[in-house]
Amino acid sequence: MERVTVSSKGQVVIPKGLRDTHNIRSGDQFFVSAVGDELRFRPAPAIPETRLETVAGMLKQGHTARLDDAEVERRIRARLRAEDDATKSG
């Protein structure tokens, strides 16, 4: 455990050895939380938060029609029947 000093601006310098070991670079961001009498620093994700508007429709398959409940049931029964038949033929 290393001792650090808090500046008048509330800044703390992370010792070089820890920065090197944990690959901490200038500009990296962290989440800070209090757990009991400890302060914990957790690296913020490198990938920026994405807004729903940015990715909406990304996985949409234009050719796929919605299935009604009866069709879903029919396909499930057919799949289960096929799997059951496959276990009997071997």
Dump the DSSP string for 55-88: HTTTT--TTPPPPPHHHHHHHHHHHHHHHHHHHH
Q: CA nearest 18: which of 41, 36, 45, 34?
A: 41
Please check the confidence at residue 89 and state whether its pLDDT lies above 70. no
- pTM over 0.75? The answer is no
pLDDT, residue 19, reads: 94
Please check the confidence at residue 16 and state whether its pLDDT lies above 80. yes
pLDDT tens, 32-79?
A: 999 999 999 999 988 877 888 777 777 766 666 788 899 999 999 999
pLDDT, residue 8, reads: 96
